Amino acid sequence: MLRVGFLGLDDPQYVVSNPWIRSFSLQNLQHIFTKPYYANYSPVHLLSYMLDYAFAGASPFVFHLSSNIWGGIVAGFVFLVALALTGNRIVSVAASLLFIVHPAHVEAIAWVASRKDLVAAAFALPSFLAYLRYRQGGANAHWWYISSLALFLFAVAGKLSVATFPAVFVARDFFVEKRPLARSLPDKVPFLFLAIIVAWVAAGVQPPTGRHPEPYVLVAALVQSVWLLTGFGSYVIFRVAPESPPNAAIQVGAAILLLAIFGIPLLLRRRAPLVMLLIYWILFAFIPTQTLSFFHPVADRYLFFPSVAAVILLAWGIIVCGERFGRRGLIGAAAVLGIIAMLWAWATLTYLREWHDPRSVWYLAAQKSSDPYGYWNLGIYYQDIADGLGTMRRAARLSGQEARRVALGIWAGDPRLPALLAEWNEGQQHGGPIEGQFQDHLRALAWAAFDRALITRGNLILPGLYFRRGLILFDRGDLAAARSEFTSALNDAARYPYVEYREEMTVRSQNALGAIALAEGQYTEAMRWLTMAEEEQTRAGGNWVPDLTANRKRLEAIMDSSDLR
């Protein structure tokens, strides 16, 4: 997992191409704390990347190592929270061990861009501990309260998903400590205020998706998420989102069921207040990820924070049941927990094998789920590798070691592999005939993956999918078909809700259409497209096509010399 590299989704934007994490300058710090970034506001999350970059630049190994360290820190706080809630060291050890081996955590730790979940949990849990210490009173109680508040601010600035956590504080006060609600609510107001501020900033930059929370989808997502929390689900980086049926009666029934799910735990408030508290922790933790209209209401990374309560509840429940039967019962409980831990560890190790490199992640995701994003990212991987080969490259040249690793994985068993490796060993890596065949094969694989994404995309607006298909056709010399794809990309970009990506795809598509017109000798048409792309890029303040102005000026000179203007 430490050598999986950066994924082509979110990692480039958050790490590889992020100019604001490259130094601890006052300008960078001011920017990440005062400006949203990449349709989000999570400054503490970006600060964690800044720390990694200060040590080793954009080294994927260091970033993955850092994510593992963050995960270990959270596991330590799981032990402390479990101890604070149950007072039982055995339960606390069991809960932290279960947390470490939970298969739902692979995505949050192995995918660098999911660091947000780790950072948020690493500050939210000590915030809760500080709050519990504040409730014990004493001369320093107010300092514990201020510490809790500050840690919560760091947590919610790491990821908005912990914004509802103070509701757990209220539930603990009211149902466990039996503190009157009128006295419990006032000291939660500052927490609410901080959550609202960060939520207001984050929600303001989140692109509209055209989807709205519907009772059936919320219930289906909750049921699926709870099943994944058991540690026995099927884990994948993208899964198909639940579809909402058009039947109004089903929606009404789902709404009633949703209310029941949140109301039934109240029945436990007298006999098992701790169980009720942990159930509400899980339920409250799902609210932020569901109220925003995401394309994927169920994702493994959303399970990271709810799983803290889940493992404490599981460990406590099994240990308490075992204690009722004396020493033998406790041994039996330990055995049950050991079996669960081994099954979870096996599932985690099995899933980790899929995170060998970016190709393995997307390849196996496409085998396990029909979600279009899996196919799309697999195609992007193949295309990017192809673009790093040959003499006319669109991407950075692959190193010899990386090229061999990719070839051994993709052409394993292919009779052309020895000839390809021999060609590279002879120093003909730059456009040799066998490398050309390998490049064509990669683009064929990319096209097949893009085709599958197109078939399964449903109502998703994916201008990048058409754009990528257009590039393949352009490279094959099929200019008419490439023009059709780039035009579709331009039309889809106009409907895309995320402003920055809409602007980027508009510029890239216009530039590509200009390149096609130029290749066909249609200079006036090419100038029209390049001028529009240049004006859009200037207006948006982007630099997606760095040589756009230079290309436009060269074309202008050609047209002037040929008297074509």
pLDDT in tens, 210-255: 667 789 999 999 999 999 999 999 999 998 888 888 889 999 999 9
Tens-place pLDDT, residues 300-348: 999 999 999 999 999 999 999 999 999 999 999 999 999 999 999 999 9
Distance (Å) of CA 558 to CA 100, 311, 377, 501: 64, 69, 39, 32
Q: What per-residue confidence (pLDDT) applies to 168? A: 97
**Residue 123, token pair as written in the block:** 């500050």
With 90 as the cut, is the pLDDT of residue 297 above it?
Answer: no
Tens-place pLDDT, residues 89-123: 999 999 999 999 999 999 999 999 999 999 999 99
CB 512 within 8 A of CB 470: yes
What b-and-e string marks burial along 53-74, b requiring 16 or more CB atoms within 10 Å of the CB? beeeebebebbbbbbeebbebb
CB 38 within 8 A of CB 70: no
Tens-place pLDDT, residues 172-219: 999 999 999 889 999 999 999 999 999 999 877 776 666 677 899 999
Q: What per-residue confidence (pLDDT) applies to 210? A: 62
Q: Find out if CATH 1.25.40.10 is the number for domain 461-565.
A: yes
Q: What per-residue confidence (pLDDT) applies to 430? A: 67
What b-and-e string marks burial along 299-337, b requiring 16 or more CB atoms within 10 Å of the CB? bbbbbbbbbbbbbbbbbbbbbbebeeeeeeebeebeeeb
pLDDT tier for residue 564 given thresholds of 50, 70 and 90:
low
Q: Which residues contact 455 (CB under 8 A, 6 or more apart)?
A: none
CB 401 within 8 A of CB 394: no
- Overall average pLDDT of the 422-430 stretch: 74
Helices (H), 369-462: 372-387, 400-410, 417-425, 433-456
With tokens 């020895």, the residue in question is 418
- Overall average pLDDT of the 534-562 stretch: 89
* Rounded-to-integer distance, Cα 439 and Cα 11, Å: 25
Q: What per-residue confidence (pLDDT) applies to 140? A: 94
pLDDT tier for residue 563 given thresholds of 50, 70 and 90:
low
Count CB atoms within 10 A of the CB of residue 399.
11
Percent of the chain predicted with pLDDT > 70 = 97
* Rounded-to-integer distance, Cα 366 and Cα 449, Å: 9
- Overall average pLDDT of the 11-39 stretch: 92
Q: What per-residue confidence (pLDDT) applies to 17? A: 87
Tens-place pLDDT, residues 485-518: 999 999 999 998 888 889 999 999 999 999 999 9
With 70 as the cut, is the pLDDT of residue 293 above it?
Answer: no
Q: Where are the domains of the chain?
A: 11-207+310-354, 372-444, 461-565
- Enter the DSSP assignment of 78: H
Q: What per-residue confidence (pLDDT) applies to 512? A: 97
Q: State which amino acid sits at residue 101.
A: V
Percent of the chain predicted with pLDDT > 90 = 77
Short-list 525, 544, 448, CA closest to 479: 525
Distance (Å) of CA 343 to CA 71, 103, 346, 353: 20, 10, 5, 16
Query: Which 3-state string (H, E, C) describes 17-66?
Result: CCHHHCCCCHHHHHHHHHCCCCCCCCHHHHHHHHHHHHHHCCCHHHHHHH
Q: What per-residue confidence (pLDDT) applies to 342? A: 98
